[in-house]
Amino acid sequence: MTDTPIILPFGMNDLVEIAAMEKMLFDDPLDADRLMKKAARSTIVGWTVRVPCTSVIIGYLLCDVRYKSIRIVRIAVAPKFRRRGLGSILMRWLHGLVTMLWLYVDGFHVPVYAAVDPGRRIARRFLKKHGFSRVRKMKNGKYLYRRIYEIASI
Ligand SMILES: CC(C)(COP(=O)(O)OP(=O)(O)OC[C@H]1O[C@@H](n2cnc3c(N)ncnc32)[C@H](O)[C@@H]1OP(=O)(O)O)[C@@H](O)C(=O)NCCC(=O)NCCS
In terms of CATH, what superfamily is 6-112? Answer: Gcn5-related N-acetyltransferase (GNAT) (3.40.630.30)
Q: How many CB atoms lie within 10 A of CB 62?
A: 23
Does the beta carbon of 21 sit less than 6 angstroms from any atom of ligand 1? Answer: no
Does the beta carbon of 87 sit less than 6 angstroms from any atom of ligand 1? Answer: yes
Does the beta carbon of 23 sit less than 6 angstroms from any atom of ligand 1? Answer: no
Smallest Cα–Cα separation from 75: which of 46, 41, 36? 46
How far is it, in rounded angstroms, from Cα 90 to Cα 106?
Answer: 26
Closest residue by CA, ligand 1 atom 40: 76
Closest residue by CA, ligand 1 atom 32: 83
Q: With beta carbons less than 8 A apart as the criterion, state whether 46 and 61 touch.
A: yes
Does the beta carbon of 7 sit less than 6 angstroms from any atom of ligand 1? Answer: no
Predicted local distance difference test score (pLDDT) of residue 150: 82
Predicted local distance difference test score (pLDDT) of residue 153: 52
Q: What is the tens place of the pLDDT at every residue in 14-23? A: 999 999 999 9
Q: With beta carbons less than 8 A apart as the criterion, state whether 51 and 58 touch.
A: yes
Closest residue by CA, ligand 1 atom 28: 126
Radius of gyration of the chain measured on its C-alpha atoms: 15
pTM of the model: 0.93
Does the beta carbon of 77 sit less than 6 angstroms from any atom of ligand 1? Answer: yes
Q: What is the tens place of the pLDDT at every residue in 70-124? A: 999 999 999 999 999 999 999 999 988 888 776 666 667 889 999 999 999 999 9
For the chain, what percent of residues have pLDDT higher than 90? 63
How far is it, in rounded angstroms, from Cα 55 to Cα 46?
Answer: 16
